[in-house]
Amino acid sequence: MASLRTFDAFPKTDEQHVKHSSKGGLSSVLTYLFLLFIAWSEFGSYFGGYVDQQYIVDDQVRETVPINLDLYVNMPCKHIQIHARDITGDRRFVSEDVEMEGMPFYIPIGTRLNEMNEIVTPELDEILGEAIPAQFRESFPSSGDGQDNFNGCHIFGSIPVNKVKGELHITAQGWGYRSQARVPEDQLNFAHVINELSFGDFYPYIDNPLDNTGKFSENNVKAFYYFTAVVPTLYRKMGAEVDTYQYSLSEAEYGPKSKATSIPGIFVRYQFEPMKIVVTDNRIGFFSFILRLVDILALIIYSMSWLFRFADRLIILVLGPKWSLRYSRDQTPSHGLLED
């Protein structure tokens, strides 16, 4: 029995005859650090979630949608009128739905003149963080002194329109619509700055394609057209929702000699798309995350071990056995995570 107790089917080298190499230990330390980095990245991805974007048919029934408008026009308010019309034949005078204040016309710093904004896809966190509902302020009480002498008009407010294809017309009195008076041609000037143009609930901190843009022309008898394709968009994250609209944009300008139109003004054409974009922040289950993490780490260890062996054999082949990563100079195997 005593001999059986000392029997070893796999004899090992006595410790006093072993000379360890630090190369295997160094490779293990580097591998551990890399595994910790991968695990940290995966935990960050788990807590941060992932963004899922889907296109569905818009099943939400809405009769009207507000157009949020804030712009400066280089013409006195008394000369300006606003109409909305759509394919149903509905035509409304909507100047009374917005506020119109006389002002000295100017171009704010940072306004992009005669060019479109760059197309930027906002992050989900940015949308939810800046989606603070608001309303346009009411017009300040004014005594009227000097208001008519201002060369500009500040137009702001929300205009409810039917949720169908339509147009918003900002024109001068007597131009395009019947009026008792007609603004002289030499007093027309539809150079303008758009501070806000959005659809749906008003979120002042969400950027839109036409925000902070302006149009200026030497020709005062000119028509500025904006063509928008409006898409309902729903953002969801951790129970919070922002139900709004985004739109794509194209532009056109027509002079007095153009056959396309003879009416100067600012025209916004809008078309509501039947599809809806749902942007959701999702997370995988914790159990699924653990399985995924274990699979990734195991694959890395397996791949690194084979890479270590291949590199060791290549070094031995090129430089000789003394440069081996797995053995010290007396051919004693070193011990590391990537070795047997």
Which tens digits make up the pLDDT trace of 315-331?
Answer: 777 777 767 666 555 55
81-90 tens-digit pLDDT: 999 999 988 8
Is residue 154 pLDDT above 90, yes or no?
A: yes
How many Å apart are CA 192 and CA 172, to the nearest integer? 14
Q: Between 202 and 142, whose confidence is greater? A: 202
Q: Between 5 and 309, whose confidence is greater? A: 309
Write the DSSP assignment of 100-148 as a string of letters: EEEE-----TT-EETSPPPP----HHHHHHH-----PPPPPP---TTGG
Q: pTM of the entire structure?
A: 0.65
Specify the residue for token string 């030499």: 186
Are 73 and 95 in contact by the 8 Å Cβ rule? The answer is: no
Least confident window among 1-10, 40-49, 103-112, 293-302: 1-10
The amino acid sitting at 129 is G
Q: What DSSP designation does 297 have?
A: H
Q: Is CATH 2.60.470 what the domain over 57-114+148-282 is classified as, yes or no?
A: yes
Using 50, 70 and 90 to split pLDDT, how confident is the model at 187? confident
Using 50, 70 and 90 to split pLDDT, how confident is the model at 134? low
For the chain, what are the domain ranges? Answer: 20-49+284-323, 57-114+148-282
Distances (CA, A) of 99 to 43, 69, 91, 96, 213: 51, 10, 20, 7, 20
Are 309 and 325 in contact by the 8 Å Cβ rule? The answer is: no
